[in-house]
Amino acid sequence: METEARLTRLASCAGCGAKVGAGTLAKLLEDFKTRTDPRLIVGFEKSDDACVYVVNDDTALIQTVDFFPPIVDDPFLFGQIAAANAISDIYAMGGEPRLALNLLCVTEQMEEAWIREILRGGYDKAYEAGVIISGGHTIRGSDPLYGLAVTGFSAPDQIKKNAGAKPGDVLILTKPLGVGILTTAAKAELVPDQLMEKIYHQMATLNKAACSVMKKYDVHSCTDVTGFGLMGHSCEMAQGSGCTLHLQVDQIPYHKEALEFADMGFVPAGAYRNRDFAEKNTRVSGTIPRPVQDILYDPQTSGGLLMAVPEKEAAAIQNELSAEVPCAHIIGYATEKEEYALVLEGDV
């Protein structure tokens, strides 16, 4: 869709780069008085992607919410990306998304046609995912915002937590990194249109196919890589699982063009927040230049799934994923807990 809308100029930050840092969130939630319920098998304690409440022996309810400022100017595409990003949390838990509510903040500068296109984009992506948008809430504010509160379902014993990785597991990532850096450089009109079309398509792509493959196997742990970057989300997985994750940097897929822009300094603010959180829990083994590390800390919008899978099933999962998700790649492994939660390995 061709549009003269410049949504990104109306926002002070963009996409998942707008997320409050993981370390800050932990401090904000300290010492809150909360109720407990044995049916709530996943809450916020392990920083998981969604909460899970067991309804009965066969059904668990999965709930999540995600919204952010525009990362693209095209309103329809913004709606698609925001919806895909929100729905992804259900896929990361191994669930089937079914219901959603719109969350929308509009500004005085936004034309009615832009607002309609944002919502149309969200409905389009929800329809693709098999999700019914059954209502929502709209307010006025200083920055445009859009996203969804999503409800999904799963059998209780099929839930994939981010805290289930085991020593010996192999790590698989399903989408390449570098989205935050490239969208930052795109604001300065330095990124070719053809490359950005590729990035936009990636962000608008559901993690549905990857989740479908994952559910066929005994995957121990899963999370989606979004605003906290690969390093932040890997750190949460490692700490929650009580193990150490070794990331083989030369095997991690990323958009090569992002390396040049990272070297030029086009690194979103969220990457520095992610570094503040994860770097102190990371040991670097090898020679890994700063721009490559920037890509690992780069906040991703609607990123891929990070799975911890049994070594004996890794090849089969990788082979099946390759047919549906060509960028999926084995990027590391888990060990018993070491001094650091993460180890970056390799010379690149």
Active site (catalytic) residues: 16
Q: How far apart are CA 190 and CA 302, in angstroms?
A: 22
Helices (H), the chain: 22-28, 75-92, 112-129, 179-186, 193-204, 208-214, 229-241, 256-263, 269-278, 290-297, 311-324
Chain-centroid distance, C-alpha 335: 24
How many angstroms separate the CA atoms of 238 and 84, rounded?
Answer: 26
CA 181 to chain centre: 15
Strand partners, 223: 306
- What's the half-sphere exposure (Cβ side, CA atoms, 13 Å) at 113? 7
Strands 51-54, 40-42: pairing kind: antiparallel
Helix, strand, or coil (residue 93): coil
Instruction: Tell me the β-bridge partners of 291.
Output: none
Q: What tokens does 95 get?
A: 């669930």
Q: What is the DSSP letter of 164?
A: -
In whole angstroms, what is the distance from residue 309 CA to residue 312 CA? 8
CB 180 within 8 A of CB 299: yes
